[in-house]
Amino acid sequence: MVEGGLDVDPSELSQIPLFAGLSRRDLELVSRHADEATVRAGTVIMREGERAMEVLVIVEGTAQVTSEGNVIAELGPGDVVGEIGVAARQPRNATVEAVTDLRVVAMFGPEYQELAEDVTELRA
């Protein structure tokens, strides 16, 4: 799990593909509910089978997704992880590990769900 960090600037959010089409109002709303965090290489940020607690958007760096020990994807800037588990309130269906140091935008479950009600582009 990623711990909360710094507040996110709305203008920086607009550079991330997931948020690029949002209005200024929606960007400000997201920025109030999101934190920016740094994750060290080698850190498991989500573990298969664990409760889904947050949604992460990778801003910088790469991560690897595995399921049942098999590599299924490599993720990089702009990729979103965790939204399905949070939206469906189901356990994680894969493990995600930082391959390099990551900079991420994190939105925690209840806040993400609240945002998705107001900002349709965030619905899974």
Which DSSP letter does residue 22 get? -
What pLDDT is stored for residue 40 in this prediction?
Answer: 97
Q: Would you say 8 and 31 are in contact if contact means Cβ atoms under 8 Å apart? A: yes
Each residue's pLDDT tens digit, 62-117: 999 999 989 999 999 999 998 888 777 889 999 999 999 999 999 887 777 777 77
Each residue's pLDDT tens digit, 42-75: 999 999 999 988 889 999 999 999 999 899 999 9
What pLDDT is stored for residue 3 in this prediction?
Answer: 52
What residue ranges define each of the domains in the chain, with the CATH number in brackets? 6-122 (2.60.120.10)
What pLDDT is stored for residue 11 in this prediction?
Answer: 86
Torsion, Cα of 42, 45, 48, 52 (10° steps):
180
Q: Would you say 55 and 83 are in contact if contact means Cβ atoms under 8 Å apart? A: yes
What is the mean pLDDT of the segment spanning 13-18?
Answer: 87
The CA distance from 82 to 109, in Å, is 9
